[in-house]
């Protein structure tokens, strides 16, 4: 592993640990709100693929109704994303609280745990599910050559305003081909106003 990759991992470790400590009161508040408004489970778990196709369990705050995965089949015709990913604006499965959490990407905060464990990084391509990966074109599979992340070029360039999966994948490969610690910091800095404004959220 190169020195810059080691520094990236060290930054992920320190930053994720500090964020988990600082955000723990917020964690408890959101967990309580989810319990009060839609019951259990508080977290949504899904199986995704990490670097080199290594499977791991991803975590988010649950923002949809409990049977959301079962409802997905009946909504496939409304998918607004061209390609493997599934995106619907004003998804009927999303709860009122979930809509607020999603707008500001607050539902993704539990992924900080995955950064701490090394399954994810703060910056990197979004991890795909096995189902999504099975539909990737050959050139898109290179997304899995690096550790997936919580934010990347897609996040700061419109998020769900991008409706073509190939455009999304091209941004991920642009990140991979031009990666540097400086690029990571630039993306992190751009992520802050993007999240605060809720730009491109669904």
The domain segmentation of the chain, as residue ranges, is 3-197
φ, ψ dihedrals at 108, nearest 5°: -90, -5
- CA-closest candidate to residue 163, choices 133, 202, 106: 202
Q: Which residues contact 167 (CB under 8 A, 6 or more apart)?
A: none
pTM score? 0.91
**pLDDT tens series, the chain, 202 aa:** 789 999 999 999 999 999 999 999 999 999 999 999 999 999 999 999 999 999 999 999 999 999 998 998 899 888 888 888 888 888 999 999 999 999 999 999 999 999 999 999 999 999 999 999 999 999 999 999 999 999 999 888 876 677 788 999 999 999 999 999 999 999 999 999 888 877 655 5
């Amino acid at each position: 592993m190169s020195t810059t990759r080691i520094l990236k991992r060290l930054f992920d470790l320190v930053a994720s640990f500090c964020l988990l400590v600082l955000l723990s009161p917020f964690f408890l508040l959101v967990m309580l709100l989810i319990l009060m408004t839609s019951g259990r489970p508080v977290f949504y778990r899904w199986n995704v693929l990490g670097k080199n196709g290594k499977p791991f369990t991803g975590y988010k705050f649950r923002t949809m109704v409990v049977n959301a995965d079962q409802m997905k089949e009946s909504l496939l015709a409304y998918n607004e994303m061209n390609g493997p990913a599934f995106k619907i604006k004003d998804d009927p499965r999303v709860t009122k609280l979930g809509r607020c959490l999603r707008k500001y990407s607050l539902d993704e905060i539990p992924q900080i745990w995955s950064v701490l464990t090394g399954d994810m990084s703060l910056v990197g391509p979004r991890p795909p599910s096995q189902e999504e990966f099975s539909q990737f074109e050959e050139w898109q599979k290179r997304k899995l050559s690096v550790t997936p992340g919580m934010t990347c070029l897609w996040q700061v360039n419109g998020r769900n305003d991008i409706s073509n999966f190939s455009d999304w994948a091209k941004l991920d490969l642009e990140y991979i081909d031009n990666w540097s610690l400086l690029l990571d910091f630039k993306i992190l800095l751009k992520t802050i106003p993007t999240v605060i404004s809720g730009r491109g959220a669904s």
